[in-house]
Amino acid sequence: MKQKRISAALMSLVMALSLVGASGCSGTTSSSSPQLTSEPASSVSTPIVSSAPKESSNAKKSDAATVSNEPAISDSAPAPSSGALLKVNYLDVGQGDSEFIELPNGQTMLIDAGNPENGSGIVSYITSRGHNKIDYLIATHPHADHIGGMATVVDSLDIGTIYMPRTSDGDTPTTSVYKKLLTSIQSKGLKINTAKAGVSIVNTGSLSATMIAPNSTGYGDLNQYSAVIMLTYGKNKFLFMGDAGNTSESEIAADVSADVLKVGHHGSKTATSQKFLNKVHPKQAVIEVGSGNKYGHPTQQALNRLKSIGATVYRTDLCSTIVFTSDSNTITVNKSASSVKEQAPPSSKASTGKATLKSNATITPKSTAPAANNAQGITVYITNTGKKYHSAGCRYLSKSCIPISLSEAKAEGYIPCSRCNPPE
């Protein structure tokens, strides 16, 4: 009888909620992920998905997730202590997105959770770093390669506040992946807050996280509903775009300048417009993408735009999981050969909980003499131990992959690899 009540409550909730959903990211779902089909959306009017006080994992379970129009209620977050570090883990989940953030005030945030098969790997990655709670859980938009593993995360860890975007009635999700997530949320008696521009996730001391999109509803393009988040710690800024494309980018009125950009929509040609990129002007850009994906991500158009503003590009298909660390003034980046994909769980080294993985490099480009043939604008790759530089995809980059400009590589004495024949 209880299961019947839960099922009935779930269907009522699906009709009431107007969060986003469809069968995988438009042009982004991994070929290894289940293909989902959509059913006709409910035509009922939809209230704003609401916020509520956080509940611990052992809280009394209710038969349905709560929905209301009340503003978000959040616990008072502690301020970061002097010298505390912010760690942003861009997880290798194949053709999908997931970012696990260890905040400098001791709290945690998870933005997206990859594909359905990534759930257990993400949980293992998080717990290996000594965490069993996600204070802020954000589903940028319910495509299967962004929320696929989130039900497992909700089932396995203590969850604080949950954010998901609201859409028009016609975009109400009906996929099994989405329904499974709602079931997990309701089974813990948790509540859902609306993800939209102007929402302050955390703001304490020198730390803040604010949503700057979506700014509209009724897009008709599910990616445009993506929650876009600006994370600031002291002088350092990280921008997370989800799958937001040119339409959403054009609506953002907030300051988008950032040190590190999580590139929108896996580097598709319909995101990261030149106009928007000129405003962000990141020193570093991260593209979360699956190796050899059938969509051609990242596109050459997106890579060319990033190159034009001088950003160093890190890709999870080449470098696997990537960790950025900020002390509020300086950012360092660490590359790992591990991933959280089910077929390649975190390495034993990751289980130590240490932030430093394979290598370190400061975010500020090194000062080197100008090189001919625009070598400063050409990115090549080096390894932790080798003396040669390589082109992307070279087999010698399987264990470590460190982006560096061609001119820097030459200035530091690296020579071109004879196997992949990188530019000289």
Q: What is the secondary structure of 345-408 as a DSSP string? A: PPPTTGGG--S--S--EESSPP-----GGGGGG-EEEE-SS-SEEB-TT-GGGSS--EEEEHHH
pLDDT in tens, 74-122: 458 999 999 999 999 999 999 999 999 999 999 999 999 999 999 999 9
pLDDT in tens, 358-409: 334 443 332 333 333 345 557 788 887 888 888 877 778 766 777 777 877 7
pLDDT at 377: 59
pLDDT value at 220 more than 80: yes
Q: Dihedrals φ, ψ of 240, to 5°?
A: -115, 120
Q: How many residues does the chain have?
A: 424
Cα 130 to Cα 2, 123, 127, 374: the distances in Å are 35, 11, 5, 45
Rounded-to-integer distance, Cα 234 and Cα 330, Å: 10
The domain limits of the chain are 2-34+48-55+68-73+80-364, 367-424
Tell me the residue type at 321: T
Number of other CB atoms surrounding residue 82 within 10 Å:
8
Q: What is the secondary structure of 188-248 as a DSSP string? A: TT-BEEEE-TT-EEEEETTEEEEEEE---S--SSGGGG--EEEEEETTEEEEE-TT--HHH
pLDDT in tens, 260-310: 999 999 999 999 999 999 999 999 999 999 999 989 999 999 999 999 999
112, 106 Cβ separation under 8 angstroms: no
pTM greater than 0.75: no
Cα atoms in the 13 Å half-sphere on the side-chain side of 420: 18
Pick the range with the lowest mean pLDDT from 136-145, 285-294, 337-346. Answer: 337-346
> Any bridge partners for residue 134, and if so which?
159
**DSSP H or E segment with residue 2:** helix 2-16
**DSSP H or E segment with residue 160:** strand 158-165
pLDDT in tens, 59-69: 333 334 544 33
CA 364 to the chain's CA centroid = 23
Rounded-to-integer distance, Cα 331 and Cα 344, Å: 28
Q: Which CATH architecture has domain 2-34+48-55+68-73+80-364?
A: 4-Layer Sandwich (3.60)
Q: First and final CA of the chain: distance in angstroms? A: 70
